[in-house]
Structure 1
C-alpha cells in the first residue's frame, strides 16, 4: 500500500474577529476512510474548501504526497460539496460527461465513466432527465457520481449521506470502501455518527476550529469513561444515586447506563441493583462515538460558560 497521504498542517482561518480554524492539523492516508465530525460551524466545511482551493488559508499548508496542493493536484481530487453543485436544468448524463471532460478525460472515456457510475449508483435510468426533476436522494447519488467520474486520486466528501435512504446509504458506503481498497484516501464529514463509527478507519473530532481528538474508533472509545449497563426492571428511579464513583448517564426504559469513575466497585452496583429485584443485564461497555462526541461538545459549552463568567 502506498504511503501517500493528504496532510492538513497547521491551517488557520479568520473572518474578522471570528476564528474559523485554529491550527487545524490531521492527515488522511492512502487507502483509508477518515470520518470528520463536529458540530455545525466547527470548521469542517471550511477545512475542506481550503483543501480544494475554494478558500485561502491565513496560515498553514495542505499537502498531497509531501508537496503543496496545487491547481493540478486539485484536478485529481473528487469533491462533493454539502450544497449541491450541479446544474439543475442540465441532463444527468450530459452533466457528468461535461465534468469528466473538464478533468481531462477524452469524450469516449467520459461517456464510459458516466455509464459506469450512474449504473453503480442506481441512477442509470435517469441519465436523460434534468437534475431538478430528480428526488433529493437521486440528486445526491448524481453528486457522488460527479465526484467519482474522473477517477480521482483523493476523495473529499462533505455530508455525502445527507438525505439518503438506508439502501442508498449502503450503496454509498460500499463505494467508499471500494475506493479505499484501491488506495484512494477518503475524507468525509457526517452528522450520522453511528455510520461514521461503522465505516471509518480513523475519526477526527473537531471543535471550535481545532482538532481535539483523532484516531481509530476503538482507540477513541477506549479513552472514554467505561460504562455499565444495568437492566433492573423493578428498580425505581434513583436506585444508583449515591454509589461511590458512579454517575448515572441515562435511563433507557428499564436499562440504566452508569459511568464508572476511578475506584468504583461494580460489585457494589450489582448488589444495589439486586436489592431492587431481578437483574436481566449487567455488562460493562465503552462509550459509543456518539457519546464521546456529546462529551466533547459538553466540554466546549462548559468552557464557554467559564469564559463568560470570568468576563463578567
Structure 2
C-alpha cells in the first residue's frame, strides 16, 4: 500500500509518501480500504514532536492520522463477519495509522456510514462533528440567543453556525478574509465579519442595533480577537473556549479571566476541551459519534470538507498551519 510516513519530527516536508507493507488485522480488528482520512490541527503538532491530548509517537517512522472511512476488506480473528464489505467510519483513538490506503482498527470502534453520506463527510463527523456536539453540551441555545462564532469557516465553526441557526439564534460568524466570510454567510450566519479588519466589533454592534448583546461566544482563536468578542457579551453571557489557534498579534494564546473579573463582567468562561468534555458526556464518546453521524444523516448538520490527495499530505498540513483551509481537511487515497 501507499502511506504517508514521518521519519523525523519537524516541518510538513518531513511527511513522505511511500510504499509500505499492507497491515494485517489482529484478533478483534478489521482492515479498512481507506477512502478518506481526516487531518486535524493536532496532527501538525504531533508531527513536530509536541505533546498534546494524544502522545507524540514513541517510535519513528510512524503513519499519522486517527480518523478514517472506507470499506472493510479484511477481518481479524473473532471480528464479526457482518462487517466485511461494509462502508464504515472510525476514530482510531491513541493508535495512529490513518494517512494510508489501508488501516486497521478495533471492530468495537466502527460505525456504519449512514446512507447519503460520503466517506469524507463521515470522517468529518466522526471527529469534528463529535467535538462540536461535545462543545454544545455546555450551553443550550434558543431564539433569544445572540451567538458569536470565531473561526466560523473552519470545520467546527461551520457546524456551530448551523446548529445555532437551527436553534433559532441570531448568529454572527467571524472569519479571516472575504473568501471565508462569504462562506460563512452562505452557511446561514446572520452576519459574517472579517476579524482581520480593525472595525469589525463596530460592525457587530451596529448589526445588533445597540440594544442587544451577545449571549454566547464560541472561542477557538484566543488572544486579542477573543477579548474583543467577550467585550460584546452582555451580563449573563457565556464564553465557551475550545481552542486558541489564531494568528493575530496575541491570538494563539488562551484568554483567561480571574474569578473577580468574571464576577465584575457578569459572565461565565468555560474551557470545554479534553477531560471536561469527556466527563460531561459521561465518558461515552461513542454516543457523541453516533449523534454526530445521525445529525448529518438527517441533514441538520452539513460538514464542509476540503479534500487533498493523500500524496499531498504535506500541503494539507501547511494549509492548516497557515489558516489557509475551510472546513474539515481530508486526505483522499
| Length-normalised TM-score, structure 1 | 0.28
Select the structure of larger CA radius of gyration.
1
